Structure formats: C-alpha cells, structure tokens
Amino acid sequence: MKRVMLKSLVALAAACAFGGAFAQERVLKMGLASPENHPAAAGMKKFAEAVAAKTNGRIKVNLFFNSSLGSDQAVVTAIKAGTVELAVMNSGILATEAKELAIFDFPFLFANEKESDAIVDGPIGKKMHALLEPKGIIGLSYWELGYRQMTNSKRPLNRVEDIDGLKLRVIPNTINVDWVKALGANPTPMPFPEVYGGLEQKAIDGQENPINVIAANKFWEVQKHMAITNHQYNPQSVIMSKRTWDALSPADRKIIDDAADEAAKTQRTQARAEVAANLELLKKNGMQVTSFSPAEVTKLREKMKPVITKHAAIVGEALVAEMQAELAKLRR
C-alpha cells in the first residue's frame, strides 16, 4: 500500500510539473500598421526569432502587418485589455495615454540619430515608458521610424509659403494638428490605414511621413511631389500588454525585454541603411523631390516656435527643461 501511495505521489508531482511547464507555453500577437517590407517589420522578425531561441520555442510571437489587428488606436485599446499582446507604433501616438510622450512629436527636436538614440535609450526614454504602466501598457524599447518629409499631389514645395492651403493628413494628436495649422495648411487627422485611400480619392492633398514609410506604402502611386524637410523625428515604441507581462515569470520577462533591445539594434541599423535606397526608389517611380534651403528651414523653425511653446506647457515645463539640458550636453 505504501509503495502504491508513493508511486501515486510521484506520478502526481510529475503531472503537476508537466502541467506547470505546459502552462508557460504562449503564443503572442504583435501588430504593426506598416507593411511587411518596412524596417519595423524587420525588427519584429528579429524579436520573434530571439524570443523563440531564448525559450526553445516555448514562447512564439505571431506577426501581423498592414494594420491587420486594427488601427493604432484600436491596438492600444486591445493592448490594455490584453487581447493583443504586443505592438510597434510611433511613440507620440501614445500621448493619448500619457501626455508627456507628445514631446517626441515636437518639431525639430533632434538634430541627428546620435541625439535621438541617447535620449530614448537613456533616463528620459525610460521615464516616458514608465508613464504607460499605470495605463496597462509596458514600454519595452524604442525602434525607429525616422525623419518625416512632406508629400502632396498639388505642387512642388520649395518655400514655406508653398505649404499654405494644402490639406495634409496628420497623426491624430493635438501637436500635429497645431504645427500644420501654423504653416497655413489644413490638418486632417486620419488613421494610417486610411491614408492611401484618402490620397487616391483626393480627400486629402498630401501627408507627411519618413521616406521608408512613403516607399513601403508606394505613395508614389498617389503623390507626385515630396519635399525633404526633416521636420520631425519619430521613435517607435515597442509595447506590451501589462496583463500579459504580469502573467509572465521574471525569467520570461527578462527574455522579452532583452529580445526587444536586441531587435532595436537590428531595426535601427536597417532603417537607416534603407533611407538612401528608398529615396532613389521614389525618384525612379516618378516622384519629384525638392529640398528646403537653409533659409527656408529657418523660416520653418520660426513658424513652429509658438507650437513648441504651447505644448511645452502641456507636456510639462520640467520635462522640456530636462530634455533641453540632455540635448545641450550631447551638443558640447
């Protein structure tokens, strides 16, 4: 009888151990608004590979492109609810959850990628992501969308005055509406999945996005002119549902976090390498590309100053001062 009981206890312990291991097997959904040929998608693939390798396939990340999980706003809601586990999106979009993240949409904030890398990978970047946790979102790392340029179907843009009157799609948040208004254009907030159709149907005259996004979405088919303005730099946040995060073991959390950081290196490197090639691709497909002279860029900056002043008060003067101090150190 004792032998039978002992065998039963051993079998029960083995079953519990097996069940515990089995319970840790997970399939996670990860979404992106852009198509699969975008550099953010390369980062997602690297992330999924790293997670699978570090867990021996126990955690699998399924990737969804082209807004197939919904608009950015819908995905944020799903992340908070735990029905979507992971996503990559413009950090500024998350200002709807924590207003301070709108600082990443300030015009002409960064002069180059060295500055942006130092800020997002440093204390300020970590502080911004920490603000999302009470909202049900975990910020894992920052990838890169890049510097934004303007396109339109009406006319070449050589001067600030050429922007006047254009109906431009903007990311749906206040600072982007305000800076487009400051240039005399008509801002039209619109979810990204609707942009191509809006351009094709002439509901909007133009839009503004990094070169890699313009190329990946074949906007040359519906836009003739592009101006190199570098008016904004967009980091992208890799975010995870806090509900999912809290259900992971400490070891698995570290795996996820480390994989996101590893993928950031791949993603940023590839994104930067593809800008020149994609610029040539746009020209080859008929886009007429112009550049603002230094004098016009100065005028552009002047037009943006009231917008920056207004939104510095909204995101917090202390945060803006901290950002400026960090950037000043980098520029010495």
pLDDT score recorded for residue 172 = 85
pLDDT score recorded for residue 24 = 73
What confidence category does residue 67 fall into, taking pLDDT thresholds of 50, 70 and 90? Answer: very high
* Span 180-228, pLDDT tens digits: 999 999 999 999 989 999 999 999 999 999 999 999 999 999 999 999 9
Looking at residues 133-145, what average pLDDT do you find?
97
Task: Report residue 163 as tokens.
Answer: 């922007």
Average per-residue pLDDT for the chain: 92
> Which pTM value belongs to this model?
0.87
pLDDT score recorded for residue 18 = 43
> How many of the other CB atoms lie within 10 Å of CB of 224?
15
Q: Return the ∠ at Cα 62 (arms to 235 and 270), rounded to 5°.
A: 40
pLDDT score recorded for residue 19 = 41
The ranges assigned to domains in the chain are 26-330
Looking at residues 97-112, what average pLDDT do you find?
94
The rounded percent of the chain whose pLDDT value lies above 70 is 93
Q: What is the largest CA-CA distance in the chain?
A: 93
pLDDT at 20 over 50: no
User: What does CATH list as the number for 26-330?
Assistant: 3.40.190.170
DSSP letter string over 17-82?
Answer: HHHHHHHT-EEEEEEESS-TTSHHHHHHHHHHHHHHHHTTTSEEEEEE-TTTT--HHHHHHHHHHT
The rounded Cα 111 to chain-centroid distance in angstroms is 19
* Span 237-274, pLDDT tens digits: 999 999 999 999 999 999 999 999 999 999 999 999 99
- Alpha-carbon distance 147 to 145, whole Å? 7
pLDDT score recorded for residue 201 = 97
